[in-house]
Structure 1
Amino acid sequence: MGPRHRAASVAALALLPLSLLGCGIGGDGENDAPLGRAPAEEAATKSRERVQAYLDAMSAKDVDAGRSQLCAPMHTAFDAGATGPNGDFADHFEVPRTAITDIRTGPGGQEVSAVVTVAVGAKEADRRLLFTVTRSGADWCISGETAGGADPETSVTP
């Protein structure tokens, strides 16, 4: 094989991956995302699912189902406080209504705002919560919960 033939072979091998991409092998470009980042729609959908499952567990007082929505680093704090006097799963109050009011991208992940109606006897109060949902490997989990969140009067839920 002469130097000219080798150069042509190297050039053909170098261009092969580019030509395969043009044929559709290697991805269509529409659903390709940078490694470690999910498309916006998937992030919003998965975040909504995780928070809704947590809210449903809170309403049903299903501590195990609620815990399963959380990222592993939150388990210890959850176990210590979930059923305590101010915990999300405390026995002395009911959760008759919940609503997700907003989902947006934040600095720590997807931020999901929710309104939870808490009832003690005949008294009811709405509490706003802000959940942070992050991707952990191939799955999603709740990595934070704080009081607050987007105002339901001005929020738009995707």
Structure 2
Amino acid sequence: MGQSHRRVVTGAALLALLPVALTGCGLAGGDDADGGSGAGAQQQAPAEEAAAKSRERVQAYLDAMAAKDVDAGRSQLCAPMQAAFDAAATGPNGDFADHFTVPQSTITDVRSGPHGQEVSTAVTVAVGSRTATRPLLFTVTRSGADWCIAGEAPGGNTPEPSTTP
């Protein structure tokens, strides 16, 4: 009977110490060393990375469009979009058409959307002496370990108010 009692006490002690051990490993939602909560810090980092990578991809595409660098533009796109890009990019209404220039482009908003990160832009296009600024909405997704543009459509999101003090 002494042996059975010892097993019960040992098991109870282990169960009592389990939450402490899990907290020490960061598995039970304890505070991080920097004072933030484990779940919040883990969720914030991927969201910030997604916004930064999406912004980088779209900016690289806009830069390629201004420079008329078709290869650089193609390299920002997800594989399924590349065939359509090759067929239309330098056509009369394509992003890389010879008859117009892109004197200015601006990223106006980056936010999470239903199909990935939505990056809103304002692109100014000039043909001769005429210019027009049009909103374009890019959808950026993660493809394996990298990010790529999965969609481009007219329009965009209204910029969200800044939350920085």
**TM-score normalised by structure 2 residue count:** 0.76
Match of 2:91 in 1: 84
Match of 2:155 in 1: 148
Q: Residue deviations 1:4-47, cap 9 Å, x none?
A: 6666379749966x5444335669425424xxx97322221111
Match of 1:32 in 2: 42
Higher helix share: 2
Q: Residue deviations 1:43-88, cap 9 Å, x none?
A: 2111111111110110011111111111111111011111111110
Structure 1: how far apart are the matches of 2:117 and 2:51? 7
Give 1:156 deviation, angstroms: 3.8
**TM-score normalised by structure 1 residue count:** 0.79
Q: Which has the larger radius of gyration?
A: 2
Length, aligned pairs only: 150
Match among 124, 130, 133 for residue 126 of structure 1: 133
For structure 1, the residue ranges without an aligned partner over 5 or more in a row are none
Aligned letter for 2:46? P
Stretches of 4+ moved more than 6 A in 1?
none
Partners of 1:102 and 1:157 within 8 A in 2: no
Partners of 1:103 and 1:157 within 8 A in 2: no
Structure 1: how far apart are the matches of 2:131 and 2:99? 13
* Secondary structure of residue in 2 paired with 1:47: helix
For structure 2, the residue ranges without an aligned partner over 5 or more in a row are 33-37
